[in-house]
Amino acid sequence: MLFLEQLLNGVQLGMMLFLMAAGLTLIFGIMHLINLAHGSLYMVGAYFTATVTVMSGSFAIGLFGGCVAAACCGVLIELLAMRHLYHRDHLDQVLATFGIILTANEATKMIFGPQALFLNPPDWLSETVQILPDTPYPAYRLFVIISGIVVALFLRHLITHTRLGMLIRAGATHREMVTALGFNISLLFTVVFALGAGLAGLAGGLAGPLLAIEVGMGEQILILTFVVIIIGGIGSVKGALVAGLLVGIVDTLSRAFLPTLLKTMLPTASADALAGSVSSMAIYIVMALVLIVRPEGLYRAYGT
């Protein structure tokens, strides 16, 4: 029973990572742009969700507000900064987006203050539910899992069944051809960037009731997100889903069961210390293994 519960926890973490990674991998795969500021958009989403929720009294409206705010910030960033960097080296993009992280953090501190914001789940989600016998599970975590599934289905529909999705797939692999056919590629880029930013904002808003909404919260999840898109294959949303779940489950299970496992072999004190270190490395070990077997990641971007 504990195992199933921990598996569920892993899936929930995986869904959060998927929401972050889906946007990042689209931007990375289609625009060939390294966007370190993705974590800042996540932070913007969380801050605006908290603020709008308090103002409107409704978490749903707050979540929507956070999503829209992040997408708007995304459009601004794309128009003001990214647009000038598409033809530049990746290093320039890293520098510019790192600059955006610093600016976003300081701006957030100036607007919202240095202390963490308050956001709790809405009342109807703050209870626990019995989905497994004898294990009360937080309703809010189930809500996050369901939101992740809904977003995954939505993205699947968007990418495989709509005109925008077709352009996204085409843009990922045959960028020149898309331009040659007369499509406005820079508009497409703005739309993709806004979509990715909106997803990051949604992830931030969903994380709000679980986590501390504070300056610098984006950087903590950004590294994990990069691990996810590298394992999943850059540019592939399906890869982001599979890798997100894989990372979430590996991370949770190693934290949950490594200490007990090691204690069967080692004295308690050293087992505790070792388990702490090994479980924080577990996902990087998985990443290394995946890269040895499939250097391009689990899935390729569309078309190839």
Partner 1 sequence: MQLSPKIRNAIALASLCVSANALAEPAKIGMITTLSGGGASLGIDIRDGFELALKERNNQLGGIDVDMIIVDDGRKVDNAKQIARRMVERDQVDIMTGIVWSNLAMAVIPSVTADGTIYISPNAGPSLLAGKRCHPNYFNVAWQNDNLHEAMGQYVSDKGYNKVYLIAPNYPAGKDALAGFKRFYKGQIAGEVYTKLGQVDYAAEIANLRAENPDAVFFFLPGGMGINFTKQYAQAGLKESIPLFGPAFSFDEGILKAVGDAAIDTMNTSQYSHDLDNSANKAFVAKFMETYGRKPSLYASQGYDAALLLDSAFRAVGSDYKNREKFRAALAKADFSSVRGDFRFGPNQHPIQSIYVRKVVREGDSVTNQLVGTVFTQHQDAYASECKMK
Q: Contact positions toward partner 1, by CB under 8 A? A: 2, 5-6, 9-10, 12-13, 16, 105-106, 109, 114-118, 120-121, 126-128, 135-136, 138, 140-141, 207, 209-217, 219-221, 252-253, 255-256, 259, 268, 272-273, 275-277, 279-280
With respect to partner 1, which residue has the nearer C-beta, 168 or 217?
Answer: 217
**Which helix (H) or strand (E) is 77 found in, with range?**
helix 59-80
Smallest gap, in angstroms, from Cβ of residue 13 to partner 1? 5
Smallest gap, in angstroms, from Cβ of residue 84 to partner 1? 27
Smallest gap, in angstroms, from Cβ of residue 82 to partner 1? 24
Would you list the DSSP string of 263-299? HTTS-HHHHHHHHHHHHHHHHHHHHHHHHHH-TT-SS
- Closest Cα partner for 36 from 206, 221, 212? 221
With respect to partner 1, which residue has the nearer C-beta, 99 or 303?
Answer: 99
Smallest gap, in angstroms, from Cβ of residue 47 to partner 1? 12
Query: Six-digit token pair at 60?
Result: 């749903």
With respect to partner 1, which residue has the nearer C-beta, 56 or 260?
Answer: 260
Q: Is the dihedral of CA 10, 13, 18, 19 positive or negative?
A: positive
Number of CB atoms found within 10 A of residue 119's CB: 23
Smallest gap, in angstroms, from Cβ of residue 106 to partner 1? 7
The residues, ordered by sequence, that sit 6+ positions from 172 with a Cβ below 8 Å of its Cβ are: 29, 30, 235, 301, 302, 303
Q: How far is 96 from 98, CA to CA, in rounded Å?
A: 5
With respect to partner 1, which residue has the nearer C-beta, 5 or 296?
Answer: 5
Burial class (CB in 10 A: 0-12, 13-18, 19+), 183: middle
Smallest gap, in angstroms, from Cβ of residue 156 to partner 1? 26
8 Å CB contact between 239 and 77 = no
With respect to partner 1, which residue has the nearer C-beta, 132 or 180?
Answer: 132
With respect to partner 1, which residue has the nearer C-beta, 133 or 182?
Answer: 133
